[in-house]
Amino acid sequence: MTGQDSEVASVKSIIAGEQRYTVFKDTRLLAAQTAKMVDEAIKGQKVDVNDTTTYNNGVKVVPSYLLTPMSIDINNYQNNWSTSGYIKADDLK
């Protein structure tokens, strides 16, 4: 089994051997980037994007800003949480 978003329950399942991995996308970074882009758009500034080829909605390619997700598994979950602070070690007990 795999998962997405690295919720506490997902990481606990990895620790218990019930799940192989999950994908971590730090929602704090996603929210900050979204707010920055909205602010730029409201101010009539050029909106910062880093992808102009991936998302074609059938009408046009939609410029996007992609953040790098991290694959979390039994070998790296502790290191990723200690550096990001997204989930505290006590939450995984």
- pTM equals 0.73
The phi, psi pair for 73, rounded to 5°, reads -140, -175
56 is written with which tokens? 């074609």
State how far the Cα of 61 lies from the Cα of 57, in Å rounded to an integer. 6
Buried b (16+ CB within 10 A) or exposed e, 16-47: eeebebbebebeeeeeeeeeebeeeeeeeeee
State how far the Cα of 22 lies from the Cα of 63, in Å rounded to an integer. 26
Summarize pLDDT for 29-81 with one digit per residue, the tens: 999 999 999 999 999 999 999 999 999 999 999 999 999 888 889 998 887 76
pLDDT recorded at residue 73: 92
- pLDDT over 90 (residue 24): no
Comparing 24 with 62, which gets the higher pLDDT? 62
Identity (one letter) of the amino acid at 77?
A: Y
